Chains A and B, each alone.
Chain A
């Protein structure tokens, strides 16, 4: 089945440092979504990327979709303590459909 791997699994940074998580798929993705899950909370949608090579920004967050649509990244500039949480990428099945397969996630901890 479709597998989406994320690296790193964990990341500890000092507040103000940058952070990047990478999402890699063995198959071409029709689109990719990113979610954030705070500790003890539920996933919250951040963004969806659809086009090859697409780049989108949300304040300090930059999302990229690879040219081959097999990988994606989320970069946070100058992390803050509010960025703490686990970041997941997610994508629908290659053949289409509504369900999402979630990546393995990257847990971010930000220290003062």
Chain B
């Protein structure tokens, strides 16, 4: 199956700093990628749809100025958590599809804001 690589797998940052998370499709081109957030023992909540060459589409309640998404190429989307606070600590996962129906997920990034 297709491979989606996410980096870093975990990060600890100080409150008030920004963190960038990368999501790459390694063996296919993805015009659309998706960013999810997952709290412990909970489901995946879609944050935004990342569209190559255009602005991301954010889900209701997600602050676009807080979670900056850039999809500058067909193989790379980035999520930047700006001015992070402890409540932003979570597991962030990206996904993408190639030509099929299934979604391929990155390994996820565990963010801890201290």
Interface residues of A (CB under 8 A from B): 1, 31, 33, 35, 41-45, 48, 88, 90, 98-105, 107
Contacts and interface: CB of A to CB of B under 8 A. Distances in A.
A56 to B, nearest CB: 13
Contacts, number: 51
B102 interface: yes
B107 A42 contact: yes
A90 B1 CA distance: 19
A48 B107 CA distance: 21
Most buried by B among A42, A102, A103, A107: A42
Contacts of B49: 98-99
B26 interface: no
Nearest to A31: B101
Contacts of B105: 42-44
Interface of B: 1, 32, 34, 36, 41-46, 49, 60, 93, 95, 97, 101-108
B102 to A, nearest CB: 4
Given A43-B95, A44-B105, A45-B103, 15 more contacts: A33-B103, A41-B107, A41-B108, A43-B44, A88-B44, A90-B103, A98-B34, A98-B49, A101-B46, A102-B36, A102-B43, A102-B45, A103-B43, A104-B42, A104-B43
A101 B102 CA distance: 13
Given A99-B46, A101-B46, A102-B43, A45 B32 contact: no
B46 A100 contact: yes
A100 B43 contact: no
A98 B93 contact: no
A107 B108 CA distance: 19
Contact of B97 (A41, A44, A98): A98
Contacts of A104: 42-43
Contact of A88 (B32, B34, B43, B106): B43
